[in-house]
Structure 1
Amino acid sequence: MRFDLVDLQLFVAVAETRSITAGAARMHLALASASERIKRLEVALGVALLKRGRRGVELTSAGESLLDHARIVLHNVDALRGDLAAFASGARASVHLLANTSGISEYLPKALAAFLAEHPRISIDVEERESGEIARAIASGAADLGLAAEHALPEGIERIPFSEDRLVLVVPRQDELAGRRQVDFREVVSRDFVGLVTSSALHAHVSGHAAKLGARLRFRARLNNFDAIGQMVAAGIGVAVMPEVAGRRCARSMKIAVVRIRDSWADRRLAICARSFKALARPAQQLVEHLRKGARQLTSTSARPRP
């Protein structure tokens, strides 16, 4: 059974747009040519891939299966091209890593810097995504590795525990909540907030849970890092939700207090994830091992009693 990469690219385009016409346009093919390619693909496979209707097309069960495999094949081809191109520039390979806001801001910079220093011929392409998006990207083969909240990962994705990632409320030290150990998020949704920019994964996560309570958070300011947010909170501009590790770090130098959020969605654990760790290319496996060692160090550090 032989597959043409153009046919696979076309099929993915048709599946994503739910239209042969739109898929053909995306691939810069004539409609008749695109339609003939899809028909030949169905004949070669011996199954119907699409259900055609007046409003477009729907995937059959076989079509859904092909879509998953086609995305993986095309991702691997892109990775192959990238790795071979990297040889010309002196690099050996690259790893595509997705991480949520906490991972990118608090855990990965130091870990990745150490890894890249040890492996000068490996590069890492890091993107920030919400944990649910990371799970979908890993499942579809659109990325090599992820660092995401474990609760968002389905059973089919392999994972290695990395660290706790509890979300907390940060308030000015003089605030009435500063003396509380924990608070229900419902109690504070009507407050003024300081948060990350709207494109951040954490912003989407927190705003989504506010919406479930029937509230829309009111942001006085949006910034791009937790230190700037902490300074705004200390000045009394509003309260903020951030990872506990960031909140306690900021509290050491700023006049803010950290209050735990009682809601279950705030009690998160980060995990390194992949479709299959054994199937990863060697550079990605090396990165996994590096992050695994870092996770053990984080665990031993967090196990020490706080002063």
Structure 2
Amino acid sequence: MRFDLVDLSLFRHVVEAGSITHGAARANLALAAASARVRGMEETLGAALLIRSRQGVALTPAGRTLLAHARVLLDRVERMQGELAAYAGGTVGQIRLLSNTNALTEFLPEVLSAYLGRHPGVSVDIEERTSDEIVGLVAEGAADLGIVAGTVDTGTLQTYPFRQDRFVVVVAPGHALAAAEAVSFADVLAHDLVGLDRASALTRFLADKAGRIDGRSLRLRVQLRSFDAVCRLVECGVGVGIVPETTARRAMRGMAIGIVPLTDPWALRDLTLCLRALDALPAFARDFVAHLRHPQTLESRANPSGGLPSGAGLG
């Protein structure tokens, strides 16, 4: 039985993407070539690895076994490449990161820019998911680390504090909620909403919270791609929005909008890093975790006068 690393990487991509078509795109392979490779793996094994349907693919028992081994092997290969690259004067590798909407839009752009600027050989593959999904995928080995809401049960995963923010309601001047000192999510549901598209992690989270209030739903008038766009449409009087407070206060500098705090406990967001085992990550990924927790650590390393040793801040 012979499966090469391209086969194993493709198989992991197919499973994580949910279809051979999307898996082939992630693996930078033509669909026909990807399909032929998967069929070849099944023929070599003598058993089906995937159950194919119009909705995508699902794993057979043999497929689940192969996926578990493929993730271990590929992780070790990636770690080996990263560590050996140091001897050639550089670091090469990929970090797979899952993030909820809040962290992805408000906190990651700046810290990623600083980290990647100093690690040109490292790439970071980021995917937006809900916090519950992230915990499960990190535990399965589908990602190296995740950023989730602090209220989520992370099970046996290792966790580290990341950032803190809160969701607030943004309103146009003169809106019925503009004079309120604070408002509950249940009261917000009585108004038209401007939000992110329905596939976003935040919109799915809010829809779930609405459904728990007597089966109610979101009155989404407009669905957009960014929090800044949400604030702009709110300013124009299309509806109210629910966005991170950091976004709202930044938008207020250039837009005529107001902020109304949400009274619901879940509105306060302690964001948490989660991973399976820090020691099992390659060195460049451990540095990435350190930088996410303490961005100044990377700055100190760039300036030898800072005197921080490699791995500082990971305790």
Pairs within 5 Å for 1:132-151:
132-151=132-151
**Alignment-derived partner of residue 155 in structure 1:** 155
Count of residues paired in the alignment: 264
Query: How far apart are the structure 2 equivalents of 1:97 and 1:257?
Result: 33
Change in 2 beyond 3 A, CA 1:266/1:138: same
Amino acid at match of 1:238: G
**Alignment-derived partner of residue 216 in structure 1:** 217
**Alignment-derived partner of residue 167 in structure 1:** 167
Amino acid at match of 1:96: R
The secondary structure found in structure 1 opposite 2:39 is: coil
Amino acid at match of 1:70: H
Amino acid at match of 1:73: V
Check conservation: 2:42, 2:48, Cα contact below 8 A.
no
Q: What is the Cα deviation at residue 153 of structure 1?
A: 3.9
**TM-score normalised by the chain length of structure 2:** 0.70
**Alignment-derived partner of residue 207 in structure 2:** 207
Q: What is the Cα deviation at residue 36 of structure 1?
A: 6.5
Deviations 1:53-87 (A, max 9, x none): xxxx997xxx98x6884364255267469869x99
**TM-score normalised by the chain length of structure 1:** 0.72
Change in 2 beyond 3 A, CA 1:215/1:77: same
Check conservation: 1:98, 1:143, Cα contact below 8 A.
yes
Change in 2 beyond 3 A, CA 1:37/1:101: closer
Check conservation: 1:190, 1:215, Cα contact below 8 A.
no
Q: What is the Cα deviation at residue 283 of structure 1?
A: 0.8
Matched residues, percent identical?
Answer: 36
**Alignment-derived partner of residue 44 in structure 1:** none
Query: How far apart are the structure 2 equivalents of 1:142 and 1:32?
Result: 25
Deviations 1:21-76 (A, max 9, x none): xxxx99426989756799xxxxxxxxxxxxxxxxxx997xxx98x68843642552
Amino acid at match of 1:217: L
Unaligned runs of 5+ in 1: 18-24, 39-56, 297-307
Query: How far apart are the structure 1 equivalents of 2:97 and 2:169?
Result: 28
Change in 2 beyond 3 A, CA 1:82/1:216: farther
Tell me whether 1:179 sits opposite 2:179 in the alignment: yes
Query: How far apart are the structure 2 equivalents of 1:70 and 1:129?
Result: 24
Q: What is the Cα deviation at residue 179 of structure 1?
A: 2.4
Change in 2 beyond 3 A, CA 1:191/1:278: same
Amino acid at match of 2:229: A
Query: How far apart are the structure 2 equivalents of 1:31 and 1:118?
Result: 42
Change in 2 beyond 3 A, CA 1:158/1:295: farther
**Alignment-derived partner of residue 250 in structure 1:** 251
Unaligned runs of 5+ in 2: 20-35, 50-58, 298-315
2:39 to 19, 28, 33: 28
Query: How far apart are the structure 2 equivalents of 1:37 and 1:128?
Result: 30
Deviations 1:179-208 (A, max 9, x none): 223211111213111011222111111111
